[in-house]
Amino acid sequence: MEASLKTDTGAADSSRFFGRQAWVGVSGGFGELRLGRTDSSIGALAGNSNILGAQSYDDFSAAQTLAAVKYRRVDNSITYMLPKLVNGLSAQVQYSAAADSTVANNGETAGNKLGRLYGLNVQYAAGGFGAGAAYLEAKADNAGAKEKSALAYLSYDFTAAKVTGYYNRNASGAGLTGARELFGARLDVPLGNAFAMQASVSRARDWNDLDDADATIVALKGIYSLSKRTSIYALATTISNGDNSEIAVGGLSGKRGETTALAGERSSGLAVGVSHKF
């Protein structure tokens, strides 16, 4: 069970305390099976900071991709992680009933399939090479609308630096007419034994190919390791919006009182934090 707490107030960062993960599982030579709320198949790749990252100031979150926001984690899921039959190769498949309580006695309205989804991912890592792909398809409403997201990445670690390229496409609506694409590149550079820098630049193409609806997202992150499992970091992000784009850093435009960026404006933000791997 994993909770998300606000560091300034101590309150749960959602309407439920264990809003991050809450699952039970079993593993063995057959692989691993998890039941409950956990990472979606595509969210597990997008949210892995060693690969891409979906913190609130990262480009996947700023662009409101399905992998980073709506389907970062899923409820009522059955997730099966295949055994590693080939060194470096891993994969998983997932199904989620997802529907929440819809009537007073905590039951379900007949025919309600809202949020039901299927997902899968596959990853391969050998030497300095890494690659992965993920797919998710969900029922957006009970009228037949769907949401789909596909993600792929390639990376190579040259020791002196690691280069990663990635592409993500999201589609939604009755005819999947709405689409948002995010593609970019990231550079990870170790500077000594304890310090590392990350730099990324990406391009977000907005729904329906509107004119001047694209945005360029640039991020710079510094990480200092205090020990093998604990580090501190600082992350600066800036977004240059086209005249019809309103993408914002962390959901904020940088102006007091605003919750979204104004069309055509620049949005910037700075985040600092501590990370500990249990």
Q: Which domains does the chain have, with CATH numbers?
A: 25-102+115-276 (2.40.160.10)
Tens-digit pLDDT profile for residues 47-98: 888 888 877 788 898 888 889 888 999 989 999 999 988 999 999 999 998 7
Query: Model-level pTM?
Result: 0.85
**72 contact partners, CB below 8 Å, separation of at least 6:** 39, 40, 43, 46, 47, 54
Q: 141 falls in which pLDDT band (50, 70, 90)? A: confident
| Residue of 71, 73, 81 whose CA lies nearest to 139 | 71
Q: Which two tokens stand for residue 85?
A: 């039959």
pLDDT digit string (tens) for 156-211? 999 999 999 999 999 876 544 457 899 999 999 999 899 999 999 999 987 665 66
Distance CA 11, CA 25 (A): 28
CA separation (Å) from 104 to 23, 71, 92, 170, 267? Answer: 25, 26, 35, 34, 42
More confident residue, 185 or 259: 185
The span from the CA of 138 to the CA of 71, in Å, is 9
